[in-house]
Chains A and B, each alone.
Chain A
Amino acid sequence: MSDAVPSALAPHEAVTPSDEPIRGASLGRYLATKALGAAISLLMVVVLGFFAFRILPGDPVLSMTRGRMVTPEEIARLRREFGLDQPLVVQFGRYLADLTRGDLGTSFFYNAPVSRLIAERAGSTLLLTGTAAVISIVLGLWLGQRAAWKRNSGFDKATTGLALVFWSVPTFWLGLLLLMAFGGPLPTGGMITPGLNATGFAYVVDVARHLVLPVAAMVAVTYAQYLMTMRSSMLEEMTADYLTTARAKGLNEDGVRTKHAVPNALLPTVTIIFMTLGHLIGGAITVETVFSWPGLGYLTYQALSAPDLPLLQGTFVVFSSIVVIMNFLADLVYRVLDPRLKAA
């Protein structure tokens, strides 16, 4: 690094190619690297999604027809229909070709295109997990930074203690507990009251009422990770010298916390937020099953019990892709938030 120097020293100053920061110049390169990484991960998801379900034990056609009177001819016909009689390589080729058209195959169980089944239910899952994620993240981060700022206080001990208790509780157990406690005043399953046929505002209220319990269950078991990450990252920042600089300038404690400590403490939480966001969607399986929420998780649960091979494969590919895409987004957001990454 070079410095502006008095003329007497100038000939001896180290010369750097450019003294001005190169900002944004390498954005394209950064994007390309990260996008390539994400693309490779996606490709592996696609390949894994096919083969993982082919090496599973159990014949899907036999399981589907269990308990029913079927002739071997019918079974052979079903096999042919689903393409299971073809060699693995041919099946894989067809799977890839279909995938490029956005076709994830046809569900054995529902006898409908998997992509349509997923698209139909994606909305309700996004509503559930999105609401839960927003509440969980805001709650966790806010409590985390408060707890750190007043570390070892009663507030700190109570909030971290409670969060860890919820974190360690099994989701289904908490869900059942919530159902037992609030099952009367609040709806216990589904997304809308059957037969109500509400529209407009009444519809919104109805969905919201159905949301309360599953969201509560999801928030309770997830917010601890945001709280603990934020708390420890905030504790690390609290001894930083630039906070003393801020205090010396005359900022009050709230200003020091919100304008200086929090923006720095947030950085490490970004990674974990995006990582968990990806998993939240898959992690909704338990909650959706307990509360019969008509989403992707519930769909996966049903596909598992069938077992419905194309449907499982489809949800697997979708869930995994979301995780990969979320990680890619995390890299992008991190770069926006932390100026130091731009130079690296």
Chain B
Amino acid sequence: MELEWRDVSIAYRIRDNDGPRSLQAVDHVTLKIPSGGTVGIAGESGCGKSTLAMSVLRLLPKTSTITGDILLDGQDVSSMSFGQLRAVRWTEASIVFQGAMNSLNPVRKIRWQIAEALELHSKGSWKDEKGRNARVDELLTLVDLPVSKAESYPHELSGGQKQRVMIAMAMACDPDVIVADEPTTALDVIVQAQVLDVLTALVRERNLTLVMISHDLSVLASTCERLVVMSEGRIIEEGPSAQVMGNPQHEHTKELAAAFPTIGDPSSRLRVGRAGVTSKPSEPDADGRAARLEVRDVTVDFSTRGSKVRAVDHVSLSCAPGEIVALVGQSGSGKTTLARTILGLQQPTSGEVFVDGKPLPRRRKALRDYRRRVQFVPQDPAASLNPKLTVYEAIAEGLRIHRVPDDERERVAEALRQAELEPPERFFGSIPQELSGGQRQRVVIAGALALRPEYLIADEPVASLDASVRGEVLALLLTLKNTLGLGALVITHDLGLAWNIADRVLVMHQGRIVESGPVEQVLLDPQHDYTKTLLRVVPAGVTRDVNRGASRADG
């Protein structure tokens, strides 16, 4: 079934400080996807890609107005009656939403939710409940889920399983067109690879037309024949995936492509951002005992309802000043628990954390002093900044807690300057809501810097940021390392990030460090099976050179 947007513009009526106005989300877009074609739409948040995708089934809020024609198999979706539209929804085109998020109804069982679509468009054998149940079982098998999962509620499934359910649900009424809206965002790399496998296999076997949306060019390149790059509501570049990825023409596309570095490519090693901030790899210091943060044989157990779970299993690591160490692993590998233990927020079951050879203090005052030296940068700046506090208050809070005697205003300004928010005075009165995602993360980092720490512990510092902003924030971390000699432990599931900025990398799996060493050694010549698997599932387009690296290792 053919899908076509003919000179489509979509505007939202919004209301802000200047009163009601119209926001152009999609601006004169013309795009044609032939039957059986697969197209990826890329772009940063707010570029209009989701609006464009949702317009296929007219799933836009009432405040939107559509001009132009959206043709699904020659029929104009935008002029259908609501009844006609409902009949088209899910039978001709269906959508795979971000299942890891809140796209499944939390109080209904999986079987109920899939069967609901069958019941709405009942035909043939789905007219009775028995037929529908059989169909649900068949659909779950199709996405490699055990049939027993039908009796589960969404919260009982993992992120990857939920995403499979979303795919099964989308396939329910045998549609010809599938729109996948960020289907793997928020999944870690291994699960992402599995979900993409399921989706692409279905698309290939059934000759479906696929429209896939993502902010990650490499994910799209590995699943779609053609790529479309959007910015500010317009299509700025379009072409076969390999061409767009390999030889991007538009500035913005280049930025998007560069945001996900090629592991093994020397031009992106310790070099990030538009300004191309670089850094020398830090020398392994001669006297290993010198000032450093050290974790010695730490184990953390959690007991839940009788059963014991070992989150961190005899882990040792160290981080010297001026060194960036990347801790890489899947969700559930114990990375965050380890970070909490280092920050003194989690009592280890055994083992200890040392700073400068002294164990992490337990007494309140000493612990406070320790925390001034080791600061934390959490994952999602939107959630970690108090929405009611101004930037100034947010940064000054740490200074007040630690009763720093210096001039508060000066220290706040200094921290903002270090975080490259200039002029600092301009940001004093801002509240987080008025800032962009990248600015917010800079404010969080400034809050940590205000205390002049020696180490930063950053938990997925760029996972919630757009591609171009990601580069800027990573560049900032490199700059801080260069100018302040800051040591950093960066927790991430993103191997590209490690390649970008880290000196050493530690691979964590099921609570254990399975491999560690200099970045080049671990990423180009992985020894442990798990590291190899991680590298293998990084979407194609990013790993071009890894295969070379791996074959070199074989030879």
Contacts and interface: CB of A to CB of B under 8 A. Distances in A.
A249 B106 contact: no
B330 A263 contact: no
B144 A250 contact: no
A252 B83 CA distance: 9
A248 B57 contact: yes
A263 B113 CA distance: 14
Interface in B101-136: 101-109, 116-117, 120-121
Output the residue of A4, A242, A245, A259 with the most chain B CB within 10 A. Answer: A245
Contacts of A246: 105, 116
Contacts of A267: 107
A241 B98 contact: yes
Contacts of A249: 89-90, 94, 116-117, 120, 169
Contact of B148 (A2, A20, A242): A20
B146 A245 contact: no
A339 B155 contact: yes
Interface in A113-167: none
B92 to A, nearest CB: 10
Interface stretch (B157-165, B247-255, B453-461, B498-506): B157-165
A248 B166 CA distance: 12
Given A242-B106, A250-B90, A1 B120 contact: no
A285 to B, nearest CB: 37
B158 A3 contact: yes
Output the residue of A8, A242, A343 with the most chain B CB within 10 A. Answer: A242
B190 A12 contact: yes
B74 interface: no
A79 interface: no
Given A11-B529, A21-B156, A250 B105 contact: no
A337 B90 contact: no
B105 A248 contact: no
B59 interface: yes
Contacts of B98: 241
Contacts of B120: 249-251
Contacts of B106: 242, 264, 338-340
A21 to B, nearest CB: 4
A247 interface: yes
Interface residues of A, number: 40
B117 A250 contact: yes
A241 B194 contact: no
Nearest to A259: B116
Interface in B508-522: 509-510
Contacts of B190: 5, 9, 12-13
B107 A1 contact: no
Contact of A340 (B90, B94, B148, B153): B153
Given A264-B107, A339-B106, A248 B89 contact: yes
Contacts of B157: 1
15 contacts: A3-B191, A5-B190, A5-B194, A12-B533, A14-B330, A14-B510, A23-B156, A242-B106, A245-B104, A246-B105, A248-B57, A250-B120, A263-B107, A337-B107, A339-B153
Given A14-B332, A252-B86, 9 more contacts: A4-B145, A4-B146, A14-B510, A17-B307, A241-B102, A248-B90, A250-B86, A250-B117, A340-B153
Nearest first, the 7 closest Cβ-Cβ pairs linking A and B are: A1-B158, A250-B89, A21-B156, A339-B153, A3-B160, A241-B103, A249-B117
